[in-house]
Structure 1
Amino acid sequence: MSTELAPSRLRRLPSWMLNQTAALAHRLVTEGLGAVGFHRYHYALMSTLEEFGPTSQADLGRRSGLDRSDVVAVLDVLAERKLIERTPDVSDRRRNTITLTSAGVRQLRQLDGELARAQDALLAALSSSEREHLARLLDRVLVSHAPSPEAASEPRQKGP
């Protein structure tokens, strides 16, 4: 639904505006990364590896917010492209340690450029200081709803 065609009651709801903006952001990021043969999941895993260093697949999934089954499939693609390496964990040979390769670091820089263009397209109506202010406000909202570290480590309840 186009924003200008939406009823004013909807346009007054921050949740509605955030949802509309998220849909637009998703489209722009998907198009930008897709144009160079990548997906947001690739970027999330490579970014996590660069920031936190080599880690297990399970920890990588937790830190990046991806489901374990998605992590394996995305890592398969990244390994095929030689952007990550899987090596047996020295402390537990049943696990793999995932490491970003130098080619992965270079690719991540290129993807940063694609995402910067998507961000610019999304936020074209805002000045630089308005963009920074918006990012701080959104971060504060997200942090205020983040689960506590204790809750994050507890098993999830199934069902409603």
Structure 2
Amino acid sequence: MGMGNYPPDTARSADRQATAARLWNLRTRLLSLAAIQSDRLVNEKLVREGARKWHFAVLATLDEFGPASQAELVSRTRIYRSDMVAVINELADRGLVERSPNPADRRQNVITLTRQGRRQLLTLDKLLTEAENEVLAPLTPQEREQLARLLAVLVHHHGQDM
């Protein structure tokens, strides 16, 4: 496979000339590079708002599913249990979530999204939409949908369902 297999807009000409063709033909490498770029942009946008990806994950999960225990949030977000405590503390300190004892099991806390947390989630939704639009700018709406379907297949196949 030569570099001629890729359309001219796939990579800058200078990059293609300075990189071994087998690297441009390695899809897993391209996927990794795209993920790195996407992750960097998302993190930059969130940091400007004083947030992290895990904050968004917890706020979005509480918004969609309602109040939950920390254990439920760990299960739904895939955030490590030890990290979840810090995330909940950060969100509670900012008034974005409330933590209260579970009446059914006093050893367990119930985490609830606050009104301020819902407003923050809307702000983060907008920032992440901007980031996604920047990352996916060269793709048509149909290509974006196709990419989402293909990535979901990969995630599901490797047992990383969200």
TM above 0.5, yes or no, is: yes
Shift of residue 6, structure 1, vs aligned partner? 2.7
Please give the alpha-carbon distance, in whole angstroms, between the structure 2 residues aligned to 1:6 and 1:51.
44
Alignment of 1:117-156 (within 5 A): 117-146=130-159
Please give the alpha-carbon distance, in whole angstroms, between the structure 2 residues aligned to 1:147 and 1:91.
31
Please give the alpha-carbon distance, in whole angstroms, between the structure 1 residues aligned to 2:69 and 2:32.
33
Please give the alpha-carbon distance, in whole angstroms, between the structure 2 residues aligned to 1:62 and 1:8.
41
Q: Which moved more, 1:138-147 or 1:116-125?
A: 138-147
Please give the alpha-carbon distance, in whole angstroms, between the structure 2 residues aligned to 1:141 and 1:38.
28
Secondary structure (helix, strand or coil) at the match of 1:88 reads strand
- The residue type equivalent to 2:74 in the other structure is G
**What TM-score comes out, normalization by structure 1 length?**
0.87
Show structure 1 runs of 5+ residues with no match. 149-160
Displacement over 6 Å in runs of 4+: none
1:23 is matched with 36
User: What is the RMSD computed on CA atoms of the aligned residues?
Assistant: 1.6
Secondary structure (helix, strand or coil) at the match of 2:72 reads helix
Alignment of 1:1-160 (within 5 A): 4=16, 5-146=18-159
Secondary structure (helix, strand or coil) at the match of 1:38 reads coil
**What TM-score comes out, normalization by structure 2 length?**
0.86
Size of the aligned set, in residue pairs, is 147
Please identify the structure whose Cα radius of gyration is greater.
Answer: 2
Show structure 2 runs of 5+ residues with no match. 1-11
